[in-house]
Amino acid sequence: MARILRMPEVAADTAEAMLADWLVGEADEFAAADPIATVETEKAAVEIEADVAGVLLKLLVPAGAQVEVGSPIAVLGEPGESVADVDALLVSLGVGVVTDPVLPERRDVEDPPPAAAAAEPQGPVRVFASPLARRLAAEAGLEIERLRGSGPRGRVLRRDVEQAVADRPAPAAPPAVQELDGRGRAELPAGPEAPDRAGEAPYEEVPHTRIRRATASRLVRSKQEAPHFYLRAALRADRLMALREELNAGVDKAGRVSVNDLVVRAAALAGREVPDLNVTWTDAAVRRYRTVDVAVAVSTDQGLLTPVVRDPAGQPIGALASTLREAAARARAGRLRPDELEGGSICVTNLGMYDVDEFAAIINPPHAAILAVGAVREEPVVEAGSIVVGRVMRVTLSVDHRPVDGAVAARWLTAFRGLVEHPIRILG
């Protein structure tokens, strides 16, 4: 039986999204969980998967269109189904004939009303552009009317603005100003040497990606709204590293367990022991969760993403390591599912692989905390009254003081320390 596929709400509180690409064509069949389309949000390009097996009978929205959430984007059918009159089918499904699938343009204040436009046909031609493209063009100082759109009906899209910014010639260097000394001779002001080529700018501007812009906005809001406080600890990691070496003995590189895998599971187990930190803040209440879901920071070419792993404490360490590898790979390829970007109460960010000793991270809303993990170092430590060489891992826990008090955060960090320093409990 034919059914309508509508634009999903791929991110919370999102009124519209861009249908970046169709992964199947008309008359193509697909299986359950197969990706059908790619939708671009402020966080990532996410794939829309099929709930059940079927066939794509009709595309209602072209790739590159900005579409309101809930709007029809395609007609799906049962495997092997075909329809002779799609327009009649759309009417029977209560949709009607789709003649313009592109999101209607918001009318700007300066745009003339339809009557005035009809009365003055010689006036300026109306330019169709997505709201995001208009905003990016204004921020870049570009006139939207001068941009060539690559979307349907010449609609100006985000990629058109970014291309125009990249193609914009560098500003010419200002002419040197000569000063005259008391004898009328010209003196050139001291300064850095001129570039080798005339007019070459001393810098390069890289347009913001959607993910980079969204990350910046989210973290600025976090620092403005969430009162951060920080707890630091130096943890003995000798047993943790020994356990990792034992787990990886005889295992090929692709299946090995990393330090970060153990840290993520320890963070989830600490959340079970101290449920008062497994919370998020809302204007109405503190929301406490039944399972501990942990976000993991992943660096990509487009910016920082934080896929959320569901209940790491409930997964065997080998399965968790596989889950984290797959999530990181999908994040870097821009193929995260919408649900993988939502939820969680704490994030783990690890810069130890970059040889960083210690750092403090900004909380990723709406999480209540973020754990920053540094490299494991050999350092002199006191053991039974004697100085010995031990392996030390330094961590910093950034906490939102609205839902979490200092004593609660200290209890969580104590529980986390116990797991790292007695890591056999991480496997339990």
Residue 384, sorted as left (phi over 0), alpha (psi -120 to 50) or beta, turns out to be left
Sequence-separated contacts (24+) of 415-418 with Cβ below 8 Å: 415/269, 415/270, 415/273, 415/274, 416/266, 416/267, 416/270, 416/371, 417/233, 417/235
Residue type at position 408? V
CA distance 401 to 223: 12
- Main-chain phi, psi angles of 423, to 5 degrees: -70, -10
401 noted as active-site residue: yes
Angle between helices 238-247 and 406-421 (to 10 degrees): 50
CA distance 388 to 379: 8
Q: Taking Cα atoms as reference points, which of 367, 398, 373 lies closest to residue 278?
A: 367
Six-digit token pair at 205?
């501007």
> Which DSSP string do the residues of 252-311 spell out, in sequence order?
-GGGPPPHHHHHHHHHHHHHHH-GGGSEEE-SS-EEE-SS--EEE-EEETTEEE-PEES-
H or E stretch at 375:
strand 369-383
Number of neighbouring beta carbons within 10 Å of residue 295: 25
- When computed from its CA atoms, the radius of gyration of the chain, rounded to whole angstroms, is 28
Q: Taking Cα atoms as reference points, which of 14, 367, 395 lies closest to residue 225?
A: 367
**Which residue is associated with the tokens 């993910």?**
211
CA distance 265 to 319: 11
Q: Taking Cα atoms as reference points, which of 237, 160, 173 lies closest to residue 203?
A: 173
Strand partners of residue 68: 16
The catalytic residue among 228, 367, 401, 422 is 401
Catalytic residue positions? 401
